[in-house]
Chain A
Amino acid sequence: RKEVEQDPGPFNVPEGATVAFNCTYSNSASQSFFWYRQDCRKEPKLLMSVYSSGNEDGRFTAQLNRASQYISLLIRDSKLSDSATYLCVANNAGNMLTFGGGTRLMVKP
């Protein structure tokens, strides 16, 4: 079993839709969590950190449920430019990140 698991998708949604991605992690000692965005043939870029209380950055909302070892990312009012692969990431210890395989999002006009 992978330490960080994501549905690979692709998620095909129309512009303006709301889409949610889920992620589960197996290491209960994981200390912090992130969502990264990766465009085709580009490097991963930090989208947002994920806090237990939930956090929002514009159209993006991240949630963490430690009891269920579950992380989510909600994107509201999807834009064409949101099309990318979204990576769920856990920091286990000592700044060592474990990456999920990614969820591909395609926003269509």
Chain B
Amino acid sequence: NAGVTQTPKFRVLKTGQSMTLLCAQDMNHEYMYWYRQDPGMGLRLIHYSVGEGTTAKGEVPDGYNVSRLKKQNFLLGLESAAPSQTSVYFCASSDNGDSSAGAQYFGPGTRLTVL
């Protein structure tokens, strides 16, 4: 199993450009998440999904949109990129079984720079 994969690994955008980050998991997990990690700020939840076709806002949702059309995929979109969105973006997934107690498994991350 590949676990959680993310594409692209790196991207440089100009202010105002748009892009979509793709996350895929092959563990049949119900829950998926998008985080950003900035120096000194730790991991902050952007959006999450508790199942196919559902999405919800996290701690820092502004400027981002998400879609979960298929259970295995979770897309993060930036409609009009801003320099403040320069960050490392991590996708994660978890199942909803009692045995896991909610542990999340992370993808390798996408390093985004907005100029």
Contact = CB atoms under 8 A, between A and B. Distances in A.
Interface in B83-109: 90, 94, 96, 101-109
A95 B50 CA distance: 9
Contact of A31 (B40, B101, B103, B109): B101
Interface stretch (A18-26, A42-50, A53-61, A69-77): A42-50
B106 A43 contact: yes
Contacts of B31: 95
Interface in A44-100: 44-46, 49, 87, 91, 94-97, 99-100
A43 B102 contact: no
A interface: dominant SS:
strand
Contact of A99 (B43, B101, B103): B43
Contact of A97 (B40, B102, B107): B102
Contact of A34 (B43, B45, B50, B103): B103
A101 B43 CA distance: 8
Contacts of A42: 108-109
Contacts of B90: 43-44
Most chain B beta-carbon contacts within 10 A, residue among A44, A46, A102? A44
Contacts of A99: 42-43
Contact of A95 (B42, B43, B102, B106): B102
Nearest to B94: A95
A49 B42 contact: no
Nearest to A43: B106
Given A31-B102, A101-B40, 10 more contacts: A34-B103, A42-B108, A43-B90, A43-B107, A44-B43, A44-B106, A46-B104, A91-B102, A95-B50, A99-B43
Interface of B: 31, 40, 42-43, 45, 48, 50, 90, 94, 96, 101-109
Q: Top 3 closest A-B pairs, CB basis?
A: A32-B101, A43-B106, A91-B102
28 contacts: A32-B101, A34-B103, A42-B109, A43-B90, A43-B106, A43-B107, A43-B108, A44-B43, A44-B106, A45-B106, A46-B103, A46-B104, A46-B105, A87-B43, A91-B101, A91-B102, A94-B50, A95-B31, A95-B94, A95-B96, A95-B102, A96-B45, A96-B48, A96-B102, A97-B102, A99-B43, A100-B42, A102-B42
